[in-house]
Amino acid sequence: MNNKSGKKKKRVIVRSVILAILISAIGYTLYNNATADDVNLLRVGDQAPDFSLMDLDGNSHRLSDYQGEGVFLNFWGTWCKPCVEEMPAMDRQYEEYYEQGVQILAVNIAQSEFEVKSFAKQYGLDFPIVIDKNKSIMAAYNIRPLPTTVLVNPEGKIERIVTGEMSEEDIAGYMEEIKPE
């Protein structure tokens, strides 16, 4: 009898293990499938990919140079209405938080220098604007819809990824999140 119940126990264990492995494989596949459509390369908590771009005044901005500061990385284009609408609010909050160690980098997606310059002039934007001429930053950050804002904390890690338009309150709140202590 002992032998028999031992065998039965073994059978249940073997079956449970096989079923658990197979079911978790399905679960993992479902998880990968669900996340593949969004930001499949970047997730909150990842190190923000480093890059180096020229701004309109010819100054080079390298992300890792801002280690110790929060970076508000905004991807935009002049054709994108919500991008244009949040710009003035970003500019106002930039005045507020620049002193507190939050930098804005507005990454334009492959437009001409003329368009970006006249846009910045028209709206009187003070924060640095860089142009991603061959869309390599866009690819590295896997940006799909515009606007997308990636918030990088002082450790250089991604704190939050925001897609869609932000209100001025949102912007202030996000800057608060990535402000150095």
Partner 1 sequence: MEKMQCQCGHENPPGTILCESCGRSLTEKEQNSKLVDMRYEGTARRSQTYNKSIIDKIWNFFSSVKVGVSIIVVLLVASAIGTILPQHMYVPATGEAAIRDYYADVYGVVGQIYHFLGFHDLYSSFWFIILVGMLAISLIIASLDRFVPLHRSLKNQRVLRHYSFMNKQRIFAEGEGAEDSFQKAESKLKELKYKVSTDKNGLLAEKGRFSRWGPYVNHIGLIIFLFGVMLRMMPGFYVDETLWIREGETRSIPDAPGYYLESESFALETYTGEEEEARFGDAIERVGSVVKNYQTDVVLYQSQEGSLPGSADEKEVLTEYPIRVNQPLKFDGYALYQMDYKLNELKSMTFVLTNKASQEASEEFTIDLINPADFYELEDGSTVELLGYYPDFDGFENGEPRTATPLPNNPGFLVEMVTPETPEGETSFIIIQETIEPFGENQYELKFQSAETRHVSGLTVRKDRTLPILGLGGLIFMIGVAQGMYFNHRRFWIQQKADGTFILAGHTNKNWYGLKKDLDEVSSFASLPAYTDQQEEIEKQEKKEGDEVK
Residues that bind partner 1 (CB under 8 A): 8, 11-12, 15-16, 18-19, 22-23, 25-26, 29-30, 32-34, 36-37, 40-41, 49-54, 60, 62, 77-79, 81, 109-115, 117-118, 130, 132-140, 145
Judged by beta carbon, residue 34 or residue 181, the one nearer partner 1 is 34
User: How far is 74 from 175, CA to CA, in rounded Å?
Assistant: 12
Judged by beta carbon, residue 97 or residue 108, the one nearer partner 1 is 108
Judged by beta carbon, residue 43 or residue 96, the one nearer partner 1 is 43
CB of 95 to partner 1, least distance (A): 24
CB of 83 to partner 1, least distance (A): 12
Residue 121: burial class (beta carbons within 10 Å; 0-12, 13-18, 19+): exposed
CB of 99 to partner 1, least distance (A): 27
User: How far is 60 from 115, CA to CA, in rounded Å?
Assistant: 20
Residue 129: burial class (beta carbons within 10 Å; 0-12, 13-18, 19+): buried
